[in-house]
């Protein structure tokens, strides 16, 4: 009972963290601030899914944790290349 209460408090704190990152996404001065805030939102989603898995006594979401990590990594690299060079995939050297 007390353990579930602690998990719910942790989920509320993660929700507040995602909301703070959403403020930075909406009101970032440059594009790089928005990209870093979106990457941080992905990491907070990973932590939220882990807390939910402990709360529901299931291990069906563990693949989803690794998959969100991979997709967040690739998306951040693509956005960084677009900001720096204007071309995501180079055609010729």
Quickly tell me which residue has 């579930």 as its tokens.
4
63 sits near other proteins (criterion: CB under 8 A): yes
Alpha-carbon gap, residue 10 to 54, rounded angstroms: 12
Region of 1-9, 10-18, 36-44, 68-76 interacting with other proteins (CB under 8 A)? 68-76
Stretch that binds other proteins, among 4-12, 15-23, 28-36, 57-65 (CB under 8 A): 57-65
Q: How far is the CB of 16 from other proteins (least distance, A)?
A: 29
């Amino acid at each position: 009972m007390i353990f579930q209460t602690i998990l719910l408090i942790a989920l509320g704190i993660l929700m507040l963290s995602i909301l703070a990152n959403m403020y930075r996404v909406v009101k970032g001065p440059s594009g790089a601030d928005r990209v870093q805030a979106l990457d941080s939102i992905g990491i907070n989603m990973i932590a939220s899914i882990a807390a939910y898995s402990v709360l529901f006594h299931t291990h069906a979401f563990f693949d989803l944790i690794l998959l969100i990590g991979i997709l967040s990594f690739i998306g951040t690299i693509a956005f960084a290349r677009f900001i720096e060079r204007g071309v995501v995939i180079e055609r010729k050297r």
